[in-house]
Amino acid sequence: MSAILDELLARGGPSLVVLAALSVLAVAVVLERGWFWGVRALVGRRRDIERAIDSIEARSFAAATATLARLPRVPLARVLLEGLRHRGAAAAGRLEAAARREHDAMVRNTGVLETITAVAPLVGILGTVLGIIRSFHGFGAGGAVVPPPHLVIGGVSEALVTTGAGLVVALVALVFAAALRGLADRGTTSIELAVTAVEPLLAEDDRAG
């Protein structure tokens, strides 16, 4: 670990170390979100959800509950189950609260990637500035004597490496953030459409006897 840190410091200075930390954080978020969405894709059987909604529309609430209970990891299934368990006047509020919880779960940590997208280029620019400062410092420290080329080249290299690394980290984070945001938006839309369809049926259950 110490050797890796020394190598990063040698190649790009402190800014590259920060970028490496941001990239590790981005990878961690992508893996966590990949697990979140991957599990739900594997168990999110659309036909079961549609069958449950059809059962609710047919007032077969016990059948709908049994179908949805087999999908404990699917956000939409959890929302519908919440409404089924609190039919009547409380159904609307329960459905909306459950929908908000699922939305929050779907967008969790996506903001971290969006922050990395904004911060990484700035860190890269900072590394560029520090590298240029180091280059000019090499000229100034030499007085009338021209400094060895490796001093100047080292500063320029630091500037170029950090700029490129910052852009790469930002671009990768941006792609995954956009993809995750799209998944969350589609998931939220599906929940909203389903809630709109079943809310009147579940709310009138008590009144209908």
Average pLDDT over residues 28-36: 91
Residue 110 has pLDDT above 90, yes or no: yes
- Spatial distance between the Cα atoms of 66 and 62, rounded to a whole number of angstroms: 6
Q: Please report which confidence band the pLDDT of residue 128 belongs to, taking 50, 70 and 90 as the band edges.
A: confident
* Closest to 203 in 3D by CA, of 43, 116, 87: 87
User: pLDDT of 51-71, one tens digit each?
Assistant: 888 898 888 889 999 988 888
**Hey, how many other C-beta atoms are within 10 angstroms of the C-beta on 109?**
16
* Dihedral (CA of 121, 123, 129, 132) sign: negative
What confidence score (pLDDT) does residue 126 get? 87
Contact between 180 and 33 under an 8 Å Cβ cutoff? The reply is: yes
140 vs 80 pLDDT, higher one: 80
At position 149, the amino acid (one-letter code) is: P
